[in-house]
Each structure stands twice: as structure tokens, then as C-alpha cells.
Amino acid sequence: MILKTHFCFGIDGNSCCCSFYFKGNDVFGFLNNFQLQSWSLLNCFSRNFSTVDGISQYALPNILFIFSSFVHPGFLFPGLFFIFLIWYNKNQPSFLFKPLVFGILLYTIFLCGIPFQNTRFLVPVLPFFLIICFPSYLTILSWFHYRRKLFYLFIFIVVTIQFFLVYRALLPFYKVNMVEKEITAMVLKHEPKSIYTFGLDGALRSYGFTGELINLFDHPLDSVVNGSFLVFNKSACEKQWKGRNPMINFEFILKSEQVKLIDTFTGGWELYEIHEKYRLVNPGVSRIN
């Protein structure tokens, strides 16, 4: 029996809508998430993490990454001006300002302790930050009231920068989509019954492959099926997944002398054909969590 519970609650002035899904008696099952179990204040100052998702290396420590969303042009272009005016004017209504600041700090500190960086996690807090910044927005707007030409110039600059940032953000997704279609088209020409892959199984299925898909992440392999194909991106995985199932299984498959490289694609993707069924003992059989 599945119990679905919806409720709303307020934390320090922040209204949050939450949905919890409980299966059976496992009420606190969501606490078993590896990101929550790995939460630590020490992660705030780190930019290198080793988790079940592999070895991750980021440009900034967690604490700088999290708070950068308040001033990054891709999130809030005039964020730095807003913060300056908040401290300069000091005209915030205390009944709303303090609870919102507390809630924002609580959420950002929580994110800082997670051994993972994802810009999507930063989005939920932005509306509350914008509420705090509204008096600063009115201050800037009033300054532009008698400077119409300068105001229009400012809007043009902001729109231009935002357009460039949107283009830069979407371009990698477009390129990945094109590569996925190209790989799938090549695979469908050969009509293999099964494919070993990692990171491309969803795309292969979406673009028409109906055979068996074996994800190299799932479990260590001890055999490979004759006539199957291998689609893998070694350059993208050799650092993050070193010593873990995807790289262990990839190296295991390549030990067969009958593995033939069919084609290479943009971004480091490679397509192999496996000509012979073989059974070996995988010396790296171990699931590293």
C-alpha cells in the first residue's frame, strides 16, 4: 500500500510546498539518499568529491559555488548591485527581512554540505532572495526615472548579455543531442541485438533502438555476448569513474582481441563491435559505492 501525503508548512517566513511519498512503513526512507548521508560541513570548503557518482572535481569550493548564484549574471544580473543597496540603504522591513535571510542562509548552508554541485539546486531559493532585493530594485528604478536614455541602454546591455548566456547554456545540449542522433543512426545500420553502454542508453532507446541495453554501471561483467556492440566515451569517464564499474567493465570488454573499433564521434564517443563470445574472470569485480 502506498500512502501519498501532501502538506504545506512555513519556516521562518518562507512558505514551502512539500510532497512526501511513503511506501509501506518506511516513513524515513528518503533519509537513505547518499547525498544526505554524506552531508558534512567540511564539504563547504571542498571542490573534490568521491561518491557513488564517481570522482567529481569542480572549479569552485561548494561555499563559493552556492553563494555565486546571487551575483552570477546567468541567475540574477544586477545581484551585486542589489546586495550593495541592501546594506547601504538599510530600509528593509524587519518582519520580513530577517526570516527570509535566515531561511535563505539555512538552505544555502544545507547545499554547501552536499558532496555535489548542481545549478538546479540553486533555483528554489532565488524567488525569496528577489523578495529581499525588491526595495533595491525600486531604488535603481527611481534612479533611472529621469535618465531614460541610460535606462534603455542598460536594458539593451542586459538583454544582450542574457541572450549570449542563454545561447552558451543551450549550445552544449544541442551538440550532445546531435551526437546522440548520429551514434544512434550508425548503430541502427548494424542492427545489433544488444549494446553495452554508459550514459547513452536513454538516448538510444528514445531514438529507435529496440534491442537489449546493458548499462556498464549496473554490475560487474563476467561475460560478453557475441555480436553485441559497445558504445562508450573513455575520455569523459576515465577520471570520474576510475576503479568503478563503468571503467572496470569497459577495460574488461577490451581484453577480447575480437573487439573491433567501428567508428568515433564528436566528444570522444567510440563504437565497437564484439565478434566473439567469451567468458573470463573479471579481476576488478567489485561495486564501489
Q: What is the pLDDT of residue 27?
A: 55
Distance CA 210, CA 193 (A): 8
Contact (CB, 8 A) for 213 and 204: yes
**pLDDT cut 70: percent of the chain above it:** 81
The answer to whether 71 and 80 are in contact (CB under 8 A) is yes
Spatial CA neighbour of 128 closest among 155, 111, 108? 108
Q: What is the mean pLDDT of the chain?
A: 80
Cα 66 from chain centre: 14
Alpha-carbon Rg of the chain, whole angstroms? 25
**What is the CB-side half-sphere exposure of residue 92 using CA atoms within 13 A?**
24
Instruction: Identify residue 188 by its one-letter amino acid code.
Output: L
Sheet with 269-274, side-by-side order of all strands = 212-215, 194-197, 229-233, 269-274, 259-264
Q: What is the pTM of this model?
A: 0.68
Whether 271 contacts 183, CB under 8 Å: yes
Name residue 212's amino acid: E
Q: What is the rounded distance in angstroms from the CA atom of residue 270 to the CA atom of residue 234?
A: 8
Over residues 45-97, the pLDDT tens digits come to 988 888 777 788 888 899 999 888 888 877 887 888 888 888 777 666 667 78
DSSP annotation of 29 reads G
**Alpha carbon 64 to chain centroid distance?**
17
Helices (H), 9-61: 34-37
Compute φ and ψ for 19, nearest 5 degrees: -125, 130
Model confidence pLDDT, tens digit, residues 109-154: 999 998 888 888 888 888 898 888 888 888 888 888 888 889 899 8
Q: Tell me the residue length of the chain.
A: 289
pLDDT at 59: 87
In the block, cell 581484453 appears at 255
For 222-279, the DSSP string reads: SEE-TT-EEEEEHHHHTTTTTTSHHHHHHHHHHTSTTEEEEEE-GGGEEEEEE-S-EE
Q: What is the pLDDT of residues 170-185, one digit of tens each?
A: 999 999 999 999 999 9
In this prediction, residue 191 has a pLDDT band, given cuts at 50, 70 and 90, of confident
The pLDDT of residue 20 is 44
Contact 216, 198 (CB under 8 A): yes
- Residue 38: DSSP 8-state: T
Residues near 29 by Cβ (< 8 Å), separated by ≥ 6?
Answer: 22, 23
Q: What is the pLDDT of residue 28?
A: 58
Tens of pLDDT along 24-44?
555 556 556 666 777 888 888
